[in-house]
Amino acid sequence: MDKSKDFLAFDLGAESGRGILGCFDGKQIKLKVLHRFPNGGIQILDNLHWDIISLWREIKNTLSICAKNGSNIESIGVDTWGVDFGLLDKTGHLIGLPFHYRDSRTTGVLEKVFDLIPRPSIFELSGCQFMEINTIYQLYSMVLTDSPLLRFAETFLTIPDLINFWLTGQKVSEFTNATTTQLYDPRKENWSAELCQVLNIPLGIFPQVIQPGTDIGMILPSITNETAFQPTRVIAPACHDTGSAVAAVPVQNESWAYISSGTWSLMGIEVEEPIITKHALDLNFTNEGGVDNTFRFLKNIMGLWLVQECRRTWSRSGEQMSYDEISQIAAQAEPFKALIDPDHHLFLASGDMPKRIVDFCKQTNQNLPLTKGEIVRSALESLALKYRWVLEKLEFVKGEAIDTIHIIGGGAQNKLLCQFTADATKRQVIAGPVEATSIGNLLVQMASCGAIGSITEGREIIAESSELIYFEPTDNAQWDQVYDRFLEIANLP
């Protein structure tokens, strides 16, 4: 290759967003964070929303920064979290601020949906796991309240699709994010008319579904005029952040699983067809879209949200600690003093997480974690044990052993959790890349533009050029001893 090519990835997470410049010289991808900005829910009266206008302002600020740097950008790609959405009126204007998936409006809605259509039928039509945060329950909560937002809606767009619309003027829905809604039928490769009809959700609001790598269109002239950013095309990566992260797994053998580790832990395998079986339903696993016509068969696990909320609680009381300091006190704490079910409903909403962890241990008649280190260690050990359970189920479905677990994303920096995972699962753990989501976003753009031949080639590049850390399981019989206790506490089969 004669010269390097630059690509721009926007990666918006639940806590923060960033614009990352990816420079590809034909052998390596070098990343440069152009702009990082906070994100999070904002409470307005009794509801929790996303400040999408602030996010949009920061996206345009990033474009201005990029223009000042003089970079010649080949394309732009946007990825975000799943399930949340904006509604547009017939003129294309946003109707209200998008709701946050942790808003309380979906409490109890699953049971109301099951009164109309049984759980197995929903899974048969969507292949998607059951979580009260899913789009289907958010929309049905609006049906139940006869929300004027839904009555005036002309178009439904998930968060990355909304940003792509503001960038290009094109209303489309990207495949990987559409599959998180529990309203997409992977067998029919389209929105589920059956589910919409039963739940009285207007089918006509859902736009055309496009695949990762699709050229959506050129950035609008109004944006180039405002930011001085050059006319550039917008490519849909895997717009769901986990879809992008999995695209960057530095695969080194054929027997692997991944954990996309951050606020959530998403643990699974890559498959060519969705696995929609009674066993998958009973285990509440999900089938989400991937790149190159694949699906991600996975389990959502609460993740480092548990630690993040502990840190926020302690910070509000004036005790400021870095994540490294928190990991250090956890490493020094007594092992296996208490265990929790990471996915218990007590831990879903924001709030006093340390108290909730202690309360859970009281309810389950355990020794109470009394120090900050013990509280965090109980959360991390429990996460590792939950990974072990998910791994066993993935191996059963796959019909063969899984040799390696790739931990990608921000959680790959938590060395204590990585080692706990290796010990609990008795598998080699490969941690990295940390910026997997942005890299996967960039890889899809690069493949679409012809800078690389395929995602497989891109993964090989990542494996050769990334700083990966290897964790080998230690001979620690304690993990086996506490595993049965964990299964009982978490009520797992």
Residue pair 256/395 in contact (Cβ under 8 Å)? The answer is: no
479 residue type, one letter: W
Residue pair 402/442 in contact (Cβ under 8 Å)? The answer is: no
- Mapped onto helix, strand or coil, the DSSP state of residue 442 is helix
> Which of these, 461, 436, 434, 460, lies nearest to 25 by C-alpha position?
461
Residue pair 395/419 in contact (Cβ under 8 Å)? The answer is: no
Q: Which residues pair with 32 in a beta bridge?
A: 21
Alpha carbon distance 32, 35 (integer Å): 9
**Alpha-carbon dihedral sign for residues 60, 63, 67, 68:** positive
**417-to-27, 259, 324, 422 alpha-carbon distances in Å:** 31, 12, 12, 9
> Which of these, 392, 381, 382, 427, lies nearest to 407 by C-alpha position?
427
DSSP secondary structure, 117-186, as one string: S-HHHHHHHH-----TTSHHHHHHHHHHTT-HHHHH-SEEEEHHHHHHHHHHS---EEHHHHTTTT-EET
Q: Which residues of 53-90 are buried (b: 16+ CB within 10 A; e: fewer)?
A: eebeebbeebbebbeeeebebbbbbbbbbbbbbbbbee
453 residue type, one letter: G
Only one residue has tokens 């095309």, namely 233
> Which of these, 214, 286, 291, 211, lies nearest to 245 by C-alpha position?
291
List phi, psi (to 5°) of 102.
-90, 5
Residue 482 has a CB neighbour count (10 Å cut-off) of: 18
Only one residue has tokens 């959502």, namely 300
107 residue type, one letter: T
Q: Which residues lie closer than 8 Å to 162 by C-beta, 6 or more apart?
A: 52, 85, 86, 94, 98
Residues in the chain: 493
Q: Which residues are catalytic?
A: 241
User: Exposure of 346 by Cβ count < 10 A (0-12 exposed, 13-18 middle, 19+ buried)?
Assistant: middle
CA 454 to chain CA centroid, nearest Å: 23
